[in-house]
Amino acid sequence: MAEIRIGGLQRLSSCDWPGELVATLFLQGCPWDCPYCHNPHLIPPEAEGTLDWQEVLGFLAGRRGLLDGVVFSGGEPTLQRGLPEALRAVRALGFRTGLHTAGPYPARLAAVLPLCDWVGFDVKAPFSGYRRVTGAAGSGDRARESLRLLLASGTAHQVRTTVDPTLIDGAALARMGAELAALGVADHVLQTCRSTGTRTSRPVHLQG
């Protein structure tokens, strides 16, 4: 049985994997502390009220033929050492598997890429400016290495950035775009930063 902590379950989503109808599992824990995180309750690795994995598998078994896949989101899914086993269990039920990650653990990401049909990869900032967003030293280097591994794997993916204009200005966006293009990213999606559900109450909007 996979040792995995699930902080939430979205039973039906059409936005967590473009073009697919999925269930989304929100895994507990994240090593980074981005101010605009819309799931701040998932940041602590330990939390009360996590869902039972066997019950989640039972739910998914009843959705075979109705859902296209299952997305593992967070938090940061690769923090969970039971993620590979959980991905295998979901694939054994006949589902395609998606993963949302920001890439804090390159080696763990490399280990699960063969088990993923699609990855949504979050780029936070120009790699040299990551600490301002994540609060973690060395986070930009880890994210860049993880992105390189993803691009080299050939796994279908989407690279996206949540733009908080208090953290990323126009010059930073341009620098980030150039860095991603140099790595071979062909499609970079910018997402509006929303304050609802975050630790900040200020309204922020995508500029430009």
Mean pLDDT to the nearest integer, 105-124 = 98
List of residues 6+ apart from 192 with CB closer than 8 A: 162, 163, 205, 206
Q: What average pLDDT does the chain have?
A: 91
Task: Give the whole-angstrom CA distance, residue 92 versus residue 63.
Answer: 13
Mean pLDDT to the nearest integer, 164-178 = 93
Neighbours of 97 (CB within 10 A): 21
Mean pLDDT to the nearest integer, 177-203 = 76
Neighbours of 140 (CB within 10 A): 22
Per-residue confidence at 190, pLDDT binned at 50, 70, 90? Answer: very high
- Structure tokens given for 208: 């430009």
Pairing of strands 69-73, 188-192: unpaired
Using one digit for the tens of pLDDT, what is the confidence trace for 145-161? 999 999 999 999 999 99
pLDDT at 181 over 90: yes
Task: Give the whole-angstrom CA distance, residue 74 versus residue 98.
Answer: 12
Domains and CATH numbers, the chain: 6-192 (3.20.20.70)
Per-residue confidence at 191, pLDDT binned at 50, 70, 90? Answer: confident
Q: What are the strands of the beta sheet with 96-101, ordered from one edge?
A: 6-13, 22-27, 69-73, 96-101, 118-122, 156-163, 188-192
Task: Give the whole-angstrom CA distance, residue 150 versus residue 160.
Answer: 14
48-52: which pairs have CB atoms within 8 A and are 24 or more residues apart? 49/7, 50/5, 50/6, 50/7, 51/6, 51/7, 51/8, 51/9
pTM for this model (two decimals): 0.91
Using one digit for the tens of pLDDT, what is the confidence trace for 34-87? 999 988 999 988 876 689 999 999 999 999 999 999 999 999 999 999 999 999
pLDDT at 28 over 70: yes
Per-residue confidence at 2, pLDDT binned at 50, 70, 90? Answer: confident
Tell me, what's the pLDDT at 48? Answer: 66
